Structure 1
């Protein structure tokens, strides 16, 4: 489509920064000025290599992104190895505590560890307290009691129970005061016991009112495995909680052991051949990453701002010269989504690196938050590499297919999600009492998503209890209809949607993409990048002189 340039009268129009890009009034615009504007637009949409040939501008952002890929990946691997040692040490200590303080515990009984008689409850409590008092003679690790000043921190044995209650199941009568009271006693590691026992005689349990029994104590340990990786060991505080849960009063008291971990810097240390310089090198490297990401953030933000300013200029040009509005599809061409992605990645990296520095200096222990930030930023950095592969036509098809199919995919997923949620709620309320995979809404969504991908089908059918024939029959209709609908129809339509978009993109690559008004306008500029026509002139007499001088200043600042 050829754009016709009629003669119109127009006045000065300023962009938001106050720079006038049309200065004439009552006469036609010089064709050279329009060519300069086309050339300016064409230069904006060039890739870094073409911009280098056009104006000799060094591709600093490209080089910086390549540098970021290397240093951020190194940072993530270093943090991942350190975090792996921390996670392994915490998990192994948790398993060790379960074997030390839970009588008869095995790894296979983790989900169903429970007791059913009063004697078993007392026996497990006695065992946990006795193991704690004899910890120094039992553990094979470097565990020790916690101290507050010169005194050992005692173990706390607490029970939660209803304030008052008279329960007679045989007569189907009860009287209960739902107010909960807590009674605790403290047991010091060096405290002598009555009659040579390890349990005080004044602690009794009323099982009819009993809600839970909780045992709290704190142990200390040092993670020495970091020494082999030239890192200073960390000192750990493990706050262990053993819970006997009797809230259901069903005859089954479930026993769980959990520990909260607090990581601290050791007060005094002496490692042969070690020095604190290693951590200083890591802090210096993290500071360099923050500086690199901050520079990238500034450059990409400036490019986004320049694109928005050029969009206003182009919109004003079309409104003034052709008296027509620019569609939003053309306006969004000036907003580079890859720069937005890099800005988000840089922001996450900067925050994650600051948290990493705080963790290394033992001011914080937010390993999970830091891992999420650094992991997400590294993922986005590597995804951003696709942008530079997209400069080659053979590698660009993935980006084009995703961009073209995205609106249709979102609309399709919204419709499919309504059906999916309907099945989720139905399965949860009907099949939940009869099937473990439908017991909670979260497990229902996971189970159905697995079924969509053809996974775990037979165990799902087989796990349905047959206590109610009506529910069993309903489960068959429910599962068969869901599998048939989503695998044979929804999933097939989803794949067909992507495939059709892919075929359309391949056809456009062979025959050419439909030209928008923006690309048609720029296509009239036939100047090649190495023609020298894109060089900025120092003296310009056209109405673009103010904008040209502003662009020249930006080029100098960037160079």
Structure 2
């Protein structure tokens, strides 16, 4: 065979070309080059083509789809339906009037005189505790009225020096998990529910923030004999399902790590081959062909699923403090698992155009977002500083960012405008209009459309390359010159000879070390002898 020369248009620029010529002192004879080409082509084959070439079953594909099925079933069982009841603890159940704990926190001194604009404030805090019960009204009825309760107990309620109010109470609940799929019920969860409602008046800005905190403590159920056999079976089945999920994820983790290791090893060998045979050094786009970020994402999802499932199994022991951790890990893993399926869409030409568009557009999109974020942060800080005292959506930096992000997506525009009405200072009202109109015009009509155009331009480039059948990298062009179909017996022959000469190592087809040699099939030797003689 004569010298090989490839002229390849790069993905970054259609005008830039790479000319690859075989070196005169290349240590690779034509049969070895063909074997290398077949090996690289096999590496980038689809699972079906690999089965045709070497009868290698697509175990990773089978494991990934099996993992999606059982993980989805596991998550479906995690979401239960509560049909239980709630009541006061035993210490209160016998009382006619139930009570809650009321905690009032005041500044030690907080006298404010608006008439002459003076105040006397002691920032030290004092706490007052009450057991809040129902109060009897004049008509003989009873109801819960905190202000009336404090008045009847000789305590004058005032907001001037109020710092915060905490109202806490306890309930017992039985959480029955309906398992309609198995027509049975699992063991009920007996819980002690400690709830605290906090009314925060620390800022004294006329707005009292309210937040709720609930702690769940497991209790032992005293009567659980109704569905003992079924519930034990249900728990055992759930444990078996979780163990299957962990086992499937472990298999997926091992296979993906093995593929990553083999890809990195092949990358190093290919770099040396192209450098010695073509005097060509790999560029970033060539390296990224061998580094599959899909495998990295699948590995992360497997690790998160294994850890999250372990936390989920602890919930069977009534360790509810791990519930949030388990759901967060499993939720993130779910996203990554389903996104990992996109890897197999790369093997279909029409779907691969979309996948390649996302991959190729990512660097440009990130650069664009960095520039756009500068404007976004500027508007966020400006809105917080100017409109914060007058607009609840700009009260903090976090809420300001959330409000602006909603505006970019066309949400709550009228409400955002209408919160500040003409009763506000004219300067603030005018500024709010200029501010909001400027932000919406800049980000919706300019930034958002420019963002879309970046992706569309990349899509057109990728589609044009596919239409003209233009390889994207030097490695692609080298592989495309392989004339051996996937069902060619040469692929199996290469494997058999490599097993003989180097014990399953792929190094035998790459003569980088003197200790490795290659056995060229006899039919290939005759073929190349006839070619050279001719």
- 1:55 paired with 2:13, answer no
Alignment partner, residue 268 of structure 1: 222
Q: Distance in 2 between matches of 1:298 and 1:430?
A: 55
Instruction: Decide which of 204, 226, 238 is 2:193's aligned counterpart.
Output: 238
Q: State how 1:374-413 maps to structure 2 within 5 Å.
A: 374-413=330-369
Q: Distance in 1 between matches of 2:113 and 2:418?
A: 40
Q: Distance in 1 between matches of 2:508 and 2:188?
A: 56
Alignment partner, residue 12 of structure 2: none
**Residues 290-341 of structure 1: per-residue CA shift (max 9 Å, x gap):** 0000110000011001101111111222333444421121112111121112
Offset, 1:285: 0.7
Alignment partner, residue 303 of structure 2: 347
Alignment partner, residue 402 of structure 2: 446
Change (3 A) 1:255 1:201: farther
Contact 1:216 1:242 in 2 (8 A): yes
Change (3 A) 1:253 1:236: farther
Instruction: Decide which of 458, 482, 488 is 1:531's aligned counterpart.
Output: 488
Q: Distance in 2 between matches of 1:76 and 1:167?
A: 56
Unmatched 5+ stretches in structure 2? 7-19, 93-97, 135-147, 510-534
Q: Distance in 2 between matches of 1:247 and 1:448?
A: 27
Offset, 1:397: 1.9
Instruction: Decide which of 87, 105, 109 is 1:143's aligned counterpart.
Output: 87
Change (3 A) 1:433 1:198: closer
Corresponding residue SS for 1:366: helix
Alignment partner, residue 182 of structure 1: 127
Offset, 1:268: 3.0
Contact 2:150 2:157 in 1 (8 A): no
Alignment partner, residue 486 of structure 1: 443
Change (3 A) 1:172 1:289: same
Q: State how 1:11-30 maps to structure 2 within 5 Å.
A: 28-30=27-29
Offset, 1:49: 0.9
Change (3 A) 1:539 1:504: closer
**Residues 505-556 of structure 1: per-residue CA shift (max 9 Å, x gap):** 22212101344221222233321111011114545699878834889xxxxx
Corresponding residue SS for 1:161: strand
**Number of residue equivalences:** 469
Offset, 1:37: 1.9
Offset, 1:158: 3.2
Q: Distance in 1 between matches of 2:334 and 2:489?
A: 39
Alignment partner, residue 302 of structure 1: 258
Contact 2:38 2:491 in 1 (8 A): yes
Change (3 A) 1:294 1:543: closer
Change (3 A) 1:291 1:550: farther
Change (3 A) 1:323 1:546: farther
Q: Distance in 2 between matches of 1:541 and 1:66?
A: 31
- 1:471 paired with 2:425, answer no
Alignment partner, residue 212 of structure 2: 258
Unmatched 5+ stretches in structure 1? 10-27, 90-140, 190-196, 552-559
Q: Distance in 1 between matches of 2:508 and 2:309?
A: 36
Q: Distance in 1 between matches of 2:164 and 2:213?
A: 17
Alignment partner, residue 31 of structure 1: 30
Q: Which moved more, 1:68-77 or 1:174-183?
A: 174-183
Corresponding residue SS for 1:433: coil
Change (3 A) 1:203 1:453: same
Alignment partner, residue 357 of structure 1: 313
TM-score by length of 2: 0.78
TM-score by length of 1: 0.74
Change (3 A) 1:254 1:477: closer
- 1:497 paired with 2:454, answer yes
Offset, 1:263: 4.5
Instruction: Decide which of 415, 421, 424 is 1:459's aligned counterpart.
Output: 415
Q: Distance in 2 between matches of 1:168 and 1:186?
A: 32
